[in-house]
């Protein structure tokens, strides 16, 4: 990770550690970098945070000042920006979003011309420009100044693409959608209505400050209540920029990314469409998922946390399905990044083709109790490598043996150490997580 760019772009509290000056300089650099040999064309999307408009204008000012043309998708999802970039010959794309973070945070995600997250080498060059370590860039003048173009048509084409992927009508299904008062608000209902579903939509009225607030994939209990109260067939919850999806079955039980990988992986294998009979996961996936994959004859690989790393593994090894427990699921036949609404459609394909409920499709998986606690620290690397902490982790590993596991890792977006334990009982998870955190506290590594 760089100074500003983490595993999911440049993220921080708006006008605190991510400012309009930062955004302007990102635009200035990208407009110059991609416009050295031709007039650069760069497409921008944003989520519903109040500060997203401010950052959009700053980016546009930087891009056009460097001579690039900026195409505005307006409020849309991260995967829609990826789709438009790779299908319509843009030099790169920018998504303004802090995903599942609170409304006062924001982020700048840069997507390369192939629809993937931008290469670290380019992000490093942007960081050097932001810090004044490179020469000032030339300003465009006269007819070379860039234009700003309304490009809502690009988002509409993405909606049409999603609708085209459905294999059957959803006419007999009653489906709940939690749009997190975010990007999905502009897309999800249109897609499911067009496919014939009876939709029950909540948290679909963004006001700039309510994105992710007690709603969406990080507050799944809201959708669980809706599914139970309305006796729906299935529900889908998205995060702020709709690149992740968490489902709820007909009984109101949560179907997270691990279970989605199992349902879709097993279905694709049964139909001879799971390339290499392999699913790519991250180190955060549940032990129960791997045991279920073993029974189903499905191979699996593990990457570092981040859909960026999942996709890199998929491309390197030719796999077609991968994702994270948090709901970032990648279907490489259809997309180059996690896509929450696409994931919903792929789950619906399994339901409609197999004529089974989501609860029945997940019944073979026994998810091990898992506890994750975030510990705010002054220095992530120091906390992770502290000898007493390392010793505490090793002790837990020995006591758990093959009946569980511990994972302690640095957050890619926050000054946080994440301590996760899986075990046969919840009490054991609590015991071992607290055991490691207590050591961190005694070592003076934790900040309030």
Just list the catalytic residues: 99
332 is in an annotated binding site: no
Pairs from 135-144 (Cβ < 8 Å, separation ≥ 24): 137/28, 137/29, 137/32, 137/66, 138/32, 138/66, 139/65, 139/66, 140/31, 140/64, 140/65, 140/66, 140/67, 144/67
Distance, in Å, from the CA atom of 163 to the CA atom of 346, rounded to the nearest integer, reads 11
89 is in an annotated binding site: no
Q: What are phi and psi of 238, to 5 degrees?
A: -115, 165
Instruction: Give me the torsion for CA of 64, 78, 281, 213, rounded to 10°.
Output: 120
Rg, C-alpha atoms of the chain: 22
Please tell me what DSSP assigns to residue 340: H
Tokens of residue 369, six digits:
């109790």
As beta bridge partners, residue 71 has 43, 149
Distance, in Å, from the CA atom of 62 to the CA atom of 126, rounded to the nearest integer, reads 13
243 is in an annotated binding site: yes
Of 432, 376, 438, residue with least CA distance to 407: 432
Of 154, 124, 161, residue with least CA distance to 41: 154
193 is in an annotated binding site: no
Report the binding-site residues: 99, 239, 241, 243
Report the binding-site residues for Mg(2+): 99, 239, 241, 243
């Amino acid at each position: 990770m760089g100074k500003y760019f983490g595993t999911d772009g440049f993220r921080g509290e708006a006008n605190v550690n991510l400012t309009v000056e930062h955004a302007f300089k990102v635009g200035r650099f990208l407009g110059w970098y991609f416009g050295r040999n031709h007039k650069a064309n760069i497409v921008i999307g944003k989520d519903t945070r109040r500060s997203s408009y401010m950052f959009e204008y700053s980016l546009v000012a930087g891009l056009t000042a460097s001579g690039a043309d900026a195409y505005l998708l307006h409020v849309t999802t991260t995967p829609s920006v990826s789709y438009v970039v790779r299908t319509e010959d843009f030099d790169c794309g920018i998504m303004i979003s802090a995903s599942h973070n609170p409304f006062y945070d924001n982020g700048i995600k840069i997507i390369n011309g192939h629809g993937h997250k931008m290469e670290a080498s380019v992000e490093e060059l942007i960081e050097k420009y932001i810090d004044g370590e490179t020469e000032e860039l030339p300003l465009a003048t006269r007819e070379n100044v860039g234009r700003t173009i309304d490009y809502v048509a690009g988002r509409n084409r993405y909606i049409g693409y999603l609708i085209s992927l459905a294999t059957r009508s959803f006419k007999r299904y009653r489906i709940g959608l939690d749009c997190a008062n975010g990007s999905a608000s502009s897309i999800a209902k249109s897609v499911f209505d067009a496919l014939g579903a009876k939709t029950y939509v909540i948290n679909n009225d963004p006001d700039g400050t309510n994105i992710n607030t007690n709603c969406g994939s990080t507050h799944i209990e809201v959708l669980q209540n809706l599914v139970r109260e309305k006796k729906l067939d299935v529900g889908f919850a998205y995060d702020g920029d709709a690149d992740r999806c968490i489902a709820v079955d007909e009984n109101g039980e949560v179907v997270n990314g691990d279970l989605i990988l199992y349902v879709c992986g097993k279905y694709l294998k049964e139909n001879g469409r799971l390339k290499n009979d392999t699913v790519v996961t991250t180190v955060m996936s549940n032990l129960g998922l791997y045991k279920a994959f073993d029974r189903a004859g499905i191979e699996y690989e593990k990457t570092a946390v981040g859909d960026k790393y999942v996709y890199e593994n998929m491309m390197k090894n030719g796999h077609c399905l991968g994702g994270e427990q948090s709901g970032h699921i990648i279907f490489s036949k259809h997309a180059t990044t996690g896509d929450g609404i696409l994931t919903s459609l792929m789950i619906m394909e399994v339901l409609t083709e197999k004529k089974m409920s989501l609860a029945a499709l997940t019944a073979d998986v026994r998810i091990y109790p898992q506890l994750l606690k975030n510990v705010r620290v002054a220095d992530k690397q120091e906390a992770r490598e502290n000898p007493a902490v390392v010793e505490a982790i090793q002790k837990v590993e020995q006591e758990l043996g093959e009946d569980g596991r511990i994972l302690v890792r640095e957050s890619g977006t926050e000054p946080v150490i994440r301590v996760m334990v899986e075990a046969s009982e919840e009490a054991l998870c609590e015991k071992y997580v607290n055991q490691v955190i207590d050591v961190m506290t005694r070592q003076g590594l934790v900040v309030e």
